[in-house]
Structure 1
């Protein structure tokens, strides 16, 4: 390569780095993750009402981001349904879908409705606050509202149970 092309590439790289760091600084306060107080959202639910995270104050809560087209999400549905059946009364499981319709979720999850709390983050505002990058992603929030776990990928009933037990006290 000639010197001119190399200098241009280096200049583009430097500008991109400054842009990335500038964006990171500007948006830093808008993201939460492990150790941070969870963002208190209010989202539409599958029953036509709304659900707030604060509705579960004083409980260990699980948030699970999913999509109906996501193969790992579909694979984990039976594990999540089992957790909901066995422990959902004590440890609420909130299933959050971003960008899909209630009809679509109803169609795909028809065998997994028993007691499941499906919420809809249509504009991805809440998922951005939680710094969700894909599906499935799972968060465990302790009784004081602090995010304690953030896991990318499919989970099992036993993983969820082990996490929530750590934050029971």
Structure 2
């Protein structure tokens, strides 16, 4: 290679690095994760209204991202349903679906016989704020609104209960 091509490649690399770091600085602060105050979202719910995270201020809240086509989500569902039945009154469980319709979820949940709180993040705007990379993903938000746990993968009723109890002080 001649020196002119090498200089051009180095220049492209340097410009690319500055572009990447600049983009990182601009987008910093728009995402939340463990230790951060949870983004106060408002999403459409199963009943046709909207639900805000702020409605649960002062409570330990569980947020679970799921999809009806996701195999680990299907495996996890009985555990979440058991948690909802046993502890849902004390520790709200917000089930957030990304990209599917309310009608689709009504069909696959058989009209929500478990009494789950289903919310719909159609454009994944809230998922981006919470750094959701897949499904299922679960967050535990403490009474002060701080994210305390972020778990990727299927979870059990006892894991959820132990986390919720840990932050219920």
1:102 aligned partner: 102
1:157 is the counterpart of 2:127? no
Residue 19 (structure 1) shift: 3.0
Residue 111 (structure 1) shift: 7.3
* C-alpha spacing 1:8/1:124, structure 2 compared with 1 (3 Å): same
Q: Measure, in 1, the Cα distance between the counterparts of 2:157 and 2:20.
A: 38
> Which secondary structure state, in structure 1, belongs to the residue aligned with residue 29 of structure 2?
helix
Aligned residue pairs: how many?
168
Give the 5 Å matches for 1:13-162.
14-110=14-110, 113-162=113-162
Residue 11 (structure 1) shift: 5.8
Residue 168 (structure 1) shift: 0.7
Q: Measure, in 2, the Cα distance between the counterparts of 1:122 and 1:104.
A: 13
* C-alpha spacing 1:20/1:47, structure 2 compared with 1 (3 Å): same
Q: Which runs of 5+ in 1 are unaligned?
A: none
Q: Measure, in 2, the Cα distance between the counterparts of 1:146 and 1:107.
A: 34
Given that residues 77 and 112 in structure 1 are in contact (C-alpha distance below 8 angstroms), is that contact kept between their aligned partners in structure 2?
no
Q: Deviations over 1:88-110 (max 9, x none)?
A: 00000000011110111112222
Q: How high is the TM-score relative to the length of structure 1? A: 0.90
RMSD, matched Cα:
2.0
- Of residues 17-26 and 53-62 in structure 1, the stretch that sits farther from structure 2 once superposed is 17-26
Q: Deviations over 1:72-125 (max 9, x none)?
A: 111101110000000000000000011110111112222754110000011111
Q: Which runs of 5+ in 2 are unaligned?
A: none
Given that residues 106 and 112 in structure 2 are in contact (C-alpha distance below 8 angstroms), is that contact kept between their aligned partners in structure 1?
no
- Of residues 12-21 and 152-161 in structure 1, the stretch that sits farther from structure 2 once superposed is 12-21
* C-alpha spacing 1:106/1:13, structure 2 compared with 1 (3 Å): farther
> Which secondary structure state, in structure 1, belongs to the residue aligned with residue 123 of structure 2?
coil
Given that residues 81 and 112 in structure 1 are in contact (C-alpha distance below 8 angstroms), is that contact kept between their aligned partners in structure 2?
no
